[in-house]
Amino acid sequence: MTWPGSAKMGGMAVGSTTQIRVRFAETDAQGIVHNSVYLVWFELARVEYLERHAGGYPTLREQGIESFVTESRVRYVAPAHFDERLTIRTSCRDVRGARFRFVYEIDRDGTRIAEGETAHACVDALTHRPTRVPAWLVEAIERAEATE
């Protein structure tokens, strides 16, 4: 990845794995998945990660916390096409203060087709002012990253 200090997942713990099947509606006139769809897939994987390890995004909201995406990047390595089965590996990294980031790798049959990152800020749901990532969420992320 191009972010300073970012690390690829190769050989490292992966917090979550999500399987997807490319839908026809996700492809463009050339039969290739449109570039914007990868960010939707990142969100799908991120929400699944939170559901699997931290009670889901609704749990954050019930605790008065929101998570805003502050930056996103995608590196396209090879195109994806209709009806292909893809695997998204997701990891949460660099939890510091109110900030954290997710790292994603998308593979088709074991071959990398895309990778990316999203940076996030944890904010109070009412004021939208930055707030520290709650200890319970930090602990859930640490457990997730240590187990899979």
What whole-number distance in Å separates Cα of residue 76 and Cα of residue 68? 24
pLDDT in tens, 41-73: 999 999 999 999 998 889 999 999 999 999 999
The string of pLDDT tens digits covering residues 2-50 is 333 344 455 445 788 999 999 999 999 999 999 999 999 999 999 999 9
CATH fold, domain 16-147, is Thiol Ester Dehydrase; Chain A (3.10.129)
- 112 touches 105 (CB < 8 A): yes
What residues does each domain of the chain span? 16-147
